[in-house]
């Protein structure tokens, strides 16, 4: 049950697009189309922004999109806004468990 | 409105025990799988455990197997996590979450802090 691999940090300027990757194995990310992404602001509970690889919950901006290729999933945020600055986590179904990524800190310059 | 409210956290000595609770409201609790996720101070999210809708099926992270027990009382709309043989590395905010499907963690509680220290 090793954590999924995410970059520690990414940054971008307002209006730009950024992509956060989430690397796993064929036993988790690559084996199922059950990858979710969460946004977490300091001292707040996580918020779901993408589920089932590409689906967006009601109320989440269409600036957030997800994809997957092989054992790597990706979250893309387009048209960066100051409020997007937060920590982002991926997670994947892994059979009899769920695995989270180590998290990525997004800085909006 | 869906609400999940955790309680039961606190300061406990190494080797001690606690029972965390998660009171659910605003939805049909007995229809959903529920999970616990924890976050050590300044660290990332870590999945802990899950339980199916009727309470008969449970799974645990390797790091807590044998020490933690997840359960639920659908009549009381409450999820529990019994945590025994606590270690310093169990210090974390513990969140309960409602999950639809495999990883659609659509609602989270505000978390309850467990601190293990002598």
What burial letters (b/e) apply to A2-22, b meaning 16+ CB within 10 Å?
Answer: ebbebbeebebeeeeebebbb
Q: Do the Cβ atoms of A1 and A15 come closer than 8 Å?
A: no
Lookup result for tokens 């963690």: B105
Q: Do residue A89 and residue B35 have CB atoms under 8 angstroms apart?
A: no
Residue B106: how many CB atoms within 10 A of its CB? 18
Average pLDDT over residues A82-92: 98
Rounded CA separation B54/A8 (Å): 38
Distance CA A27, CA A29 (A): 7
Using DSSP's 3-state secondary structure scheme, residue B90 falls into: helix
Q: Are A89 and B95 a contacting pair at CB < 8 A? A: no
* CB spacing of B50 vs A98 below 8 angstroms: yes
Interface of A with B in 11-30 (CB under 8 A): none
Chain B touched by A45 (CB under 8 Å): yes
Residue at token pair 């707040």: A44
d(CA B2, CA B25) in angstroms, rounded, equals 6
pLDDT digits over B46-99, tens only? Answer: 999 999 999 999 999 999 999 999 999 999 999 999 999 999 999 999 999 999
Quick: pLDDT tens for A19-37: 999 999 999 999 999 999 9
Q: What is the mean pLDDT of chain A?
A: 96
């Amino acid at each position: 049950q090793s954590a999924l691999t995410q970059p520690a940090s990414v940054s971008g300027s307002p209006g730009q697009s950024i992509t956060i990757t989430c690397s796993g194995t064929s036993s988790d990310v690559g084996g199922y189309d059950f990858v979710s992404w969460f946004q977490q602001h300091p001292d707040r509970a996580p918020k779901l922004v993408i589920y089932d690889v590409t689906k967006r919950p009601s109320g989440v901006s269409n600036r957030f999109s997800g994809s997957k290729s092989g054992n790597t999933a990706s979250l893309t945020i387009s048209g960066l806004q100051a409020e997007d600055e937060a920590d982002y986590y991926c997670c994947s179904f892994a059979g009899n468990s769920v695995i989270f990524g180590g998290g990525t800190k997004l800085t909006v310059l | 409105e869906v609400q999940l409210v955790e309680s039961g956290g606190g300061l406990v000595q190494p080797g001690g025990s606690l029972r965390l609770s998660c009171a659910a409201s605003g939805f049909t609790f007995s229809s959903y799988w529920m999970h616990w996720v924890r976050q050590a101070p300044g660290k990332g999210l870590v999945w802990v455990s899950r339980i199916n809708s009727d309470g008969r099926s449970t799974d645990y992270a390797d790091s807590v197997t044998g020490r933690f027990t997840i359960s639920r009382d659908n009549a009381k709309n409450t999820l529990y996590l019994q945590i025994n043989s606590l270690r310093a590395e169990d210090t974390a905010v513990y969140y309960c979450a409602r999950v639809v499907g495999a990883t659609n963690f659509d609602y989270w509680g505000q978390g309850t802090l467990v601190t293990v220290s002598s």
